[in-house]
Amino acid sequence: MKNKKILYIGNNLFKKTKYQTTMTLLSSLLELEGYSLVKSSSKTNKLIRLIEMCFAVVRNRNKVEYILIDTYSTTNFYYALLTSQLSRFFKVKYIPILHGGNLPKRLLSSSSFSKLIFNNSYKNIAPSNYLKIAFEKKSFKTEFIPNIISLKNYKYINRYNIQPKLLWVRSFKHLYNPTLAIKVLLELKKEYPEPTLCMVGPFLDDSYQQTVSLAQKYNLEDSVEFTGVLTKEDWHKKATEYDIFINTTNFDNTPISVIEAMALGLTIVSTNVGGMPYLIDNKVDGLLVDKENVGQMTKAIVDVIEGKYPTLSKKAREKAETFDWEIIKYKWFKILK
């Protein structure tokens, strides 16, 4: 295991954004296990980032045994396309790690490019059975390795008296529908005198301003806190003040923030999209509702507060424990043998 050298291609922006990605966590854990990793790229400019990623493949072509490539459905799909084909040219084994609930649509819209990437890879790794099934339907051989957490860093709090205190942790992007959280808060205000909402995450498009404007329109400024990006430690600390974790997204895979919330003892209420029904067993370890449905999400939250599902958070913690690195790492060892 030791001394194997790996190039990891992805958005290595943690030092700039303080936003921990799968790349940040997986690379650090592999290094602790004795692997040697080179990471690219930390450039914020997308074109410069792409150029640096390609040069990283060229520079390290004779030094590494594997190239891990974080693969998304949007612009970053083309990073994966170019770096994977460079890897092929230099005959280096490359492993796409699949992210993003919209990748199945990308397989349809970029069919030829998808075949170039995923038919010629050493392995394709899906962090959810949702993506594994979608890729295998297109005849791309895919292995399931779940998203990971280091469980020792997650203190479970058993919340006995659940209040309308909502936590939302995600990037502000239209894809993740942050305005739904404000609409739900407004409805809760009709049932409870002082519901609160904390929204944690970077501001990536104008959905942030739309969310703020909606809170102002409904006079909810005193009930909502926008923190911007928080370190993992800081948002975990912030989570101790809240009881229910809401996931409002319109597309999804298996977001690590939801798994983290499960580990921390928050009750999960999420839209039933993408990989979420593969992660959440409805009414067992969380509640699933239709996307963009204010009424359903509000009712689910009220049901939780009224104690209709008293074991959700306990069951969620049990499921989160199956994502612990100490369990999952052996799957990676088998791939990187």
Amino acid, single-letter form, for residue 274: G
DSSP character string of 5-66: EEEEES---HHHH----HHHHHHHHHHHTT-EEEEE---SSHHHHHHHHHHHHHHHTTT-SE
Return the pLDDT at 74.
Answer: 86
In angstroms, what is the C-alpha Rg of the chain?
20
pLDDT tens-digit readout, 195-212: 999 999 999 899 999 999
pLDDT more than 90, % of the chain? 88
CB atoms within 10 A of CB 277: 14
**Rounded distance between C-alpha atoms, residue 258 and residue 249, angstroms:** 12
Identify which of 130, 226, 236 has the alpha carbon closest to the alpha carbon of residue 178: 226
Identify which of 283, 313, 250 has the alpha carbon closest to the alpha carbon of residue 102: 250
Q: What is the DSSP letter of 130?
A: H
CATH architecture group of domain 5-145 = 3-Layer(aba) Sandwich (3.40)
Residue with tokens 């936003």: 19
- Burial profile 298-312: b = 16 or more Cβ within 10 angstroms, e = fewer: bebbeebbeeebeeb
**Rounded distance between C-alpha atoms, residue 306 and residue 327, angstroms:** 35
**What's this model's pTM, rounded to 2 decimal places?**
0.91
**Rounded distance between C-alpha atoms, residue 3 and residue 209, angstroms:** 48
Measured in whole angstroms, the distance separating CA 156 from the mean position of its chain's CA atoms is 20
Omega within 30 of 0 (cis) for the link into 223: no
pLDDT tens-digit readout, 110-161: 999 999 999 999 999 999 999 999 999 999 999 999 999 999 999 999 998 9
Query: In this model, does residue 332 exceed pLDDT 80?
Result: yes
**Rounded distance between C-alpha atoms, residue 60 and residue 277, angstroms:** 40
At 57, list the tokens: 């493949």
- Exposure of 301 in the CB half-sphere (CA atoms within 13 A): 33
Q: Tell me whether domains 5-145 and 151-322 share a fold.
A: yes
Average pLDDT over residues 180-196: 97
At 56, list the tokens: 């990283």
Average pLDDT over residues 90-98: 98
Domain-by-domain residue ranges, the chain?
5-145, 151-322
Return the pLDDT at 100.
Answer: 79
3-class secondary structure, 281: coil
Return the pLDDT at 279.
Answer: 95
**End-to-end Cα, the chain, rounded Å:** 7
Average pLDDT over residues 251-258: 90
Amino acid, single-letter form, for residue 158: N
Return the pLDDT at 19.
Answer: 60
Q: Is the dihedral of CA 50, 128, 141, 68 positive or negative?
A: positive
CATH topology of domain 151-322: Rossmann fold (3.40.50)
